């Protein structure tokens, strides 16, 4: 598929009009003819991971809360991790560079190794066959290359603006869009 966004970022346009995705950055885990799925990187919840999963063997990245990965299967668990230097991940599949998707059951069972940190998501963002392609064609999303520091960002509140401004051109101006346009 030529237009795949796999392992790239989707940046919502400033006024997307969908509360699930307003000013979001989505890391695309997969995108092919069958559909697409990814996780929203900048929607941390208030729920601290250690309060629910105190015995994880792999450290949780800061902020160490669950992130809302999207509106599909909220309550389900999805984990993205970073491969440790010179390590082979066990029960985690490398996606791009050191970024890996982690088997959540193995993570909960203490059977994951070769990662130096994980981020936990509840829910994910999903699109049926052709759905994301249609949204891209209408200009609902900008596509950008993903950097490790984007995917595992320590300051998610700044991520959308940071990545928009990094793109240059008209996206810099879109990155200046006010948090609440009604007060503009």
Domains of the chain, with CATH numbers? Answer: 8-183 (3.40.1740.10)
pLDDT of residue 21: 87
Provide the terminal-to-terminal Cα distance of the chain, rounded to the nearest Å: 41
Question: For residue 176, what pLDDT is reported?
Answer: 52
Instruction: For 156-182, write each residue's pLDDT tens digit.
Output: 999 999 998 888 766 655 545 555 555
Percentage of the chain surpassing pLDDT 70?
90
Q: Work out the number of other CB atoms within 10 angstroms of the CB of residue 13.
A: 18
The pLDDT assigned to 1 comes to 44
- pLDDT lower than 50: segments of the chain: 1, 175, 183
């Amino acid at each position: 598929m030529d237009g795949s966004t796999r392992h790239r970022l989707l940046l919502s346009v400033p006024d997307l009009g969908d509360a699930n995705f307003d000013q979001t950055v989505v890391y695309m885990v997969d995108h092919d003819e069958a559909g697409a799925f990814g996780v929203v990187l900048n929607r941390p919840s208030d729920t601290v991971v250690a309060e629910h999963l105190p015995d994880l063997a792999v450290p949780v990245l800061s902020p160490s809360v669950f992130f809302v990965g999207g509106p599909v299967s909220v309550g389900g668990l999805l984990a993205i991790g970073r491969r440790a230097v010179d390590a082979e991940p066990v029960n985690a599949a490398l996606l791009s560079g050191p970024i890996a998707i982690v088997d959540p059951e193995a993570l909960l069972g203490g059977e994951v190794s070769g990662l130096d940190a994980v981020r936990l998501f509840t829910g994910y963002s999903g699109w049926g066959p052709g759905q994301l392609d249609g949204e891209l064609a209408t200009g609902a999303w900008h596509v950008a290359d993903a950097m490790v520091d984007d995917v595992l960002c320590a300051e998610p509140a700044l991520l959308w603006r940071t990545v928009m401004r990094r793109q240059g051109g008209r996206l810099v101006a879109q990155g200046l869009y006010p948090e609440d346009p009604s007060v503009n």
